[in-house]
Amino acid sequence: MADDQQVLAESPTAPPADEAPKPVAEPAKPDKGGFYWGTGRRKTAVARVRIKPGEGKYLVNGREINAYFTEDRDRNSATAPLNISKMESSLDVYVNVKGGGFMGQAGAVLLGLSRALKNYDPTLEHALRENDFLTRDAREVERKKYGQRGARRRFQFSKR
3-class DSSP assignment, residue 64 = strand
User: Above pLDDT 90, what percent of the chain?
Assistant: 78
Domain annotation covers residue 138: no
| pLDDT band per the 50, 70, 90 thresholds, residue 15 | low
Domain annotation covers residue 93: yes
| Residue 36 belongs to domain spanning | 30-130
Domain annotation covers residue 140: no
Mean pLDDT calculated for residue range 48-67: 95
Domain annotation covers residue 10: no
The total number of structural domains that make up the chain: 1
Domain annotation covers residue 114: yes
Best CA proximity match to 91, nearest among 118, 50, 64, 56: 56
Average pLDDT, the chain: 88
What pLDDT does residue 80 have? 95
CATH number of the domain enclosing 109: 3.30.230.10
What pLDDT does residue 5 have? 55
What pLDDT does residue 157 have? 93
